[in-house]
Amino acid sequence: MTARGVFYVHSAPPALSPHIEWAAAGVLGVPVSLEWTDQAAAPGTLRAELHWEGRPGTAAGITSALRTWKLVRFEATEDPTPGTDGVRFSFTPSLGVFSGVIGANGDIMVPEDRLRSVMANAAVGKTTLEHELDRLLGTPWDNELEPFRRAGDGAPVRWLHAAV
């Protein structure tokens, strides 16, 4: 079964670009050469975008490979396939990793157990319901990444098919 998705590097120092390509290649199983462009939202950094096809779980693999790199902002998405949900992973140096299951209409689907945990913590005063719901929906990540996403409008798109 083949999955499809997009790997967005929203900002990275130029010196890390070959390392990011190697990390993505290690997950995809084929050489990766991204087309890097300047990131206007963070002068001195670069951005790139890669549309990929590969095994289900590829977006998680890319995220795992890059999640400790504190100078990179990225997102990895994976469309749903029969038997698997869609997913989006977002990473920022200040927030770490966000993962959300994506429904057919593009909404983030929050698992019942996570909602129950948030409600229980809010009920005993550990947090506010509004704050935790924002985190479950990825709002802090969206707020931080949105300027980087907009700066990439009109950027070139490239497809890569993984070895299956």
Rounded distance between C-alpha atoms, residue 108 and residue 121, angstroms: 21
Binned at pLDDT 50, 70 and 90, residue 151 comes out as: confident
> CA 130: distance to chain centroid?
23
**Does residue 85 contact residue 59 with C-beta atoms inside 8 Å?**
no
Rounded distance between C-alpha atoms, residue 73 and residue 28, angstroms: 20
pLDDT tens sequence across 15-47: 999 999 999 999 999 999 999 999 999 999 999
Residue 104 pLDDT: 80
Rounded distance between C-alpha atoms, residue 53 and residue 25, angstroms: 12
DSSP sequence for 86-146: EEEEEEETTTEEEEEEE-TTSPEEPPHHHHHHHHHHHHTTSS-HHHHHHHHHTHHHHHHHH
Residue 47 pLDDT: 97
Rounded distance between C-alpha atoms, residue 17 and residue 40, angstroms: 16
Please report, for residues 76, 90, 96, 132, the alpha-carbon distance to residue 114 in angstroms, rounded to integers and kept in the order given: 22, 18, 18, 10
pTM: 0.88
pLDDT tens sequence across 80-137: 988 888 999 999 999 999 999 998 888 999 999 999 999 999 999 988 999 999 999 9
Higher pLDDT, 1 or 93: 93
Domain locations in the chain as residue ranges: 3-110+147-161
Please report, for residues 17, 28, 80, 143, the alpha-carbon distance to residue 134 in angstroms, rounded to integers and kept in the order given: 32, 32, 24, 11
Residue 84 pLDDT: 85
For residue 155, pLDDT over 90 is answered with: no
**Does residue 5 contact residue 58 with C-beta atoms inside 8 Å?**
yes
Q: What is the CA radius of gyration of the chain?
A: 17
Question: What residue type is assigned to position 16 of the chain?
Answer: L
Instruction: List the structure tokens of 117.
Output: 């945990």
